[in-house]
Each structure stands twice: as structure tokens, then as C-alpha cells.
Amino acid sequence: MLQDYQLLRIPGPTPIPPSVQQVMLAPMIGHRDQETKALLNRIQPKLKNIFGTLQDIAVIAGSGTAGLESAVVNTVNPGEDVLVLVTGSFGDRFARICKTYQLTVHRFDYDWGTALEPEQIKAYLSQNPSIKAIFATYCETSTGVLNPIRELAQVVKQVSDALFIVDGVSCVGAVETRMDDWGIDVLVTGSQKALMLPPGLTFVAANKRAWKKIEESKQARFFLDLRKYRDSSQQDSTPFTPALSLLYGLEQSLTLIESEGFPAVFQRHQVMKNMTRASMRALGIPLLTNDLVASPTVTALKPYDFQPDLLRKIVKKDFGLVLAGGQNQLKGKIFRIGHMGYCSPADVIQVISCIEIGMYKLGKKTSLGIGTKAAQDVYLNHIEGD
Ligand SMILES: *Cc1c(COP(=O)(O)O)cnc(C)c1O
């Protein structure tokens, strides 16, 4: 196979746009110099637009999990009751972080592939006033579910004073997110998913309610202390050496998102989701999630008549196409197609076409062209609807 050729279609890390790749090659600058301050100052308003907030956003060097951990260690005291909503492996991670910091974890587990249910959570909260924080995952990457965060925020506010804390790592930047309007108290995302950057940055925003708690919290923290990031941010700075190359890239990727325009970005992800789902249906590969809760950024498939890992192996070998497998209880049972960030309908058609060849090689000789046509039809219908 052609060396270096790769089609990376996993739900993060995602491919990087050439202009972003290019700016990340720029030489280092003094991290306390005016250039860095100016860069951080230009980045803040762009990030706020992505989050839908007026609050400053902490830019932390670390993977998304550092962002999740910072959300935990800043907002809750040891021993306090928290509710963690688990719809897959990332919800489970939030719960494990909470346990690590000796919080009293109340856990709601949903079948993997289904979404959380706001009314049920509302009922639980009204009977459990001791809950101080609720942790939820916006897009559950392990299953491809987009949880109804907006609806949940609404019911949480009706019955509880608990902080509402959301992991938006695999969808913020690709789906509508209005932190302030919806009433999300703390929102976390990361660089390597919809924001089209390499791994290594995580972003955390907290509103006034959350800040009150952050100020008072007795939990020990140093590197992840959000107060340090806020104080530095007021001087257009960071408490520790920032990941400068990633910041160069961040400014460019946020500029790309802005120039495409948010509605167009969200619409593109919707189209790619619908193309992917229609093609998999046409090919007879069962979708793990139903249409109402399917994420625009990642699609999970659960074949019953072939091994997903075998298909992944074939398309990797033949085309350099990298698809994701399942995590934890879904390991070996599903495969996942990432379609977020630097990804277009043209990429989706290519991926489907490659999967058809993979299926042909697995013995499904009737597959050729069927899924691709379904995706093309979806694409054309969207265009005509414009
Ligand atoms: C990718 C991801 C994370 C962060 O994972 P890291 O490997 O630490 O970057 C957190 N939450 C969700 C939902 C994710 O998809």
C-alpha cells in the first residue's frame, strides 16, 4: 500500500486541516511575552462562541480527561453526594474520577446505546436533595449517543441547586452548545475531536454559580486549580507554560469554524450523520442507537453476521482506513465511524465505499454500491432541501 496514506475516521484524534498543521510549525515564542498574551487574547472570544458563554475559558495542557478531572476537583468537596449519569464508557470515567476523590457517588446506569432520561433524573433529584453536583456526557463517544443535555439542564434547574457539569469533549464545536442559555454550570471539551487539533489541550468553563463553589472548595488541587487559570486569564496569560504550538493551531481551527459559520458546521455534521446511517441501513448493518439520539459526530454499528474487528482489519490493510472498535463491554461487538471536525460528505462517501469492499471480502458479495448510493441520495436530498 502507498506509504503514509491514511484515512483516520475514529472519534478522535481526528485529521488536522492543512492550514492548522502549517501554523503549528511556527517557532516558539516567549510564553510570558506580549505575542503570547496577544494570541491568548485573540483565542478567548472565539472559544466563548464555541461554548456559548460569556465566561472566560481555562485552556489547560492535557488530554480531555485532565479537563474532566479539573471539573471534579474544583467543584465538589470530599464526601459530598454527586450523581453521575452513565450512558457508556466516558460516563463511567467521570464516575471513577469522582470515586478517586472520595465523593459519595450515586450512579445512574443506562443501557449502552441508549440516552439518559431527564424525567427520571428529575424524579431522583427531587427525592435526593443531598446531591451537590450532576455529571453528564453530552456525546457518549463509546456508543454514538448525543444525550439530551439541554432538556436535562432544564429539569435539573426545576428541582435542584446542584451544579450541572457536562463532558462535551466529542461534540462541542460540531453540535449546538449554549452553555449560558441552557444553564450548564461547568462545560469541558478537548482539542482532538471536533476542534480539529492534535490531542493535548482541554478547555473548561464555569459560570458564576460554579465559581462560588470553586472558591470555597476544600478539595486539594494544584495543576488543575481553576482559580489559577482564571487569575492568569485576566492577564491574558496561563499559570504554567502553555502548549504554544497547539495554541497556534487553535487560533487557526477556530478561525476555520467561524468562517464556515456555526449553522453550516452543524448542518454538515447532520448531513454526514444521516449519510452514514442511511448507508449502514442499506447494507443491513444494525445501528447501535436510534435516530432520535444519534450523535452527528460518531456512529456505532453492531453487525450480527460478521466480526466488526475483522472488517476493521481488512479496511485498514487495504485502504489505510482506520475505524474504531468497541470499548469495555462493547469490545469486539461494534465498530464506530468518526465523522467530525475536518471531515466532509466526500470523506463519508469514501469511507462507505471502502466498507463495502471490506464486506465483499468478508463474503457479502451483494454489498457493492448499495450503501454508497443510499448516502448519495441523502446528500442530494439535503442539497435540494436547502
Ligand atoms: C475523548 C473523550 C474524552 C477525553 O479523553 P482523553 O483521552 O483524555 O482525551 C472525554 N470524554 C469524551 C466523551 C471523549 O470522547
Q: Which of 301, 362, 228, 322 is nearest to 10 (CA)?
A: 322
Average pLDDT for 343-371? 96
Q: C-alpha angle 160/163/168, rounded to 5°?
A: 125
What residues contact 49, with CB distance under 8 A and at least 6 apart? 258, 262
- The per-residue pLDDT for range 216-241, each reduced to its tens digit, is 999 999 999 999 999 999 999 999 99
- The per-residue pLDDT for range 19-33, each reduced to its tens digit, is 999 999 999 999 999
Secondary structure class of 138 (helix, strand, coil): coil
Residue whose CB lies within 8 A of the most ligand 1 atoms, among 10, 14, 60, 63, for a mutation test: 63
- Residue 221 to residues 70, 72, 108: CA-CA distances in angstroms? 9, 10, 27
- Looking at residue 2, its pLDDT comes to 85
- The per-residue pLDDT for range 82-97, each reduced to its tens digit, is 999 999 999 999 999 9
d(CA 136, CA 192): 20
Q: Is 296 near ligand 1, meaning CB less than 6 Å away?
A: no
- Looking at residue 366, its pLDDT comes to 81
Spell out the domain ranges in the chain.
7-14+262-385, 18-258
Residue 329: what are its φ and ψ, rounded to 5°? Answer: -65, -15
The CATH architecture one would assign to domain 18-258 is 3-Layer(aba) Sandwich (3.40)
The mean pLDDT value of the chain amounts to 97
Q: Is 295 near ligand 1, meaning CB less than 6 Å away?
A: no
Question: Residues 99, 105: contact at Cβ < 8 Å?
Answer: yes
Please state which of the four CATH numbers 3.40.50.620, 3.40.50.300, 3.30.43.10, 3.90.1150.10 is assigned to the domain occupying 7-14+262-385: 3.90.1150.10
- The per-residue pLDDT for range 40-60, each reduced to its tens digit, is 999 999 999 999 999 999 999
Ligand 1, residue 68: give the atom nearest the CA.
10
Rounded to two decimals, the pTM is 0.97
The helix-helix angle for 64-75 and 89-100 (nearest 10°) equals: 40
Cα 168 to ligand 1 centroid, rounded to whole Å: 9
- The per-residue pLDDT for range 307-352, each reduced to its tens digit, is 999 999 999 999 999 999 999 999 999 999 999 999 999 999 999 9
pLDDT band at 182 (very low <50, low <70, confident <90, very high): very high
Q: Is 63 near ligand 1, meaning CB less than 6 Å away?
A: yes
- Looking at residue 367, its pLDDT comes to 87
- The per-residue pLDDT for range 106-152, each reduced to its tens digit, is 999 999 999 999 999 999 999 999 999 999 999 999 999 999 999 99
pLDDT band at 386 (very low <50, low <70, confident <90, very high): low
Instruction: Enter the DSSP assignment of 73.
Output: H
Average pLDDT for 171-183? 98
- Looking at residue 383, its pLDDT comes to 76
d(CA 344, CA 11): 14
Residue 187: what are its φ and ψ, rounded to 5°? Answer: -130, 135
Provide the grid cell at 61: 495542557
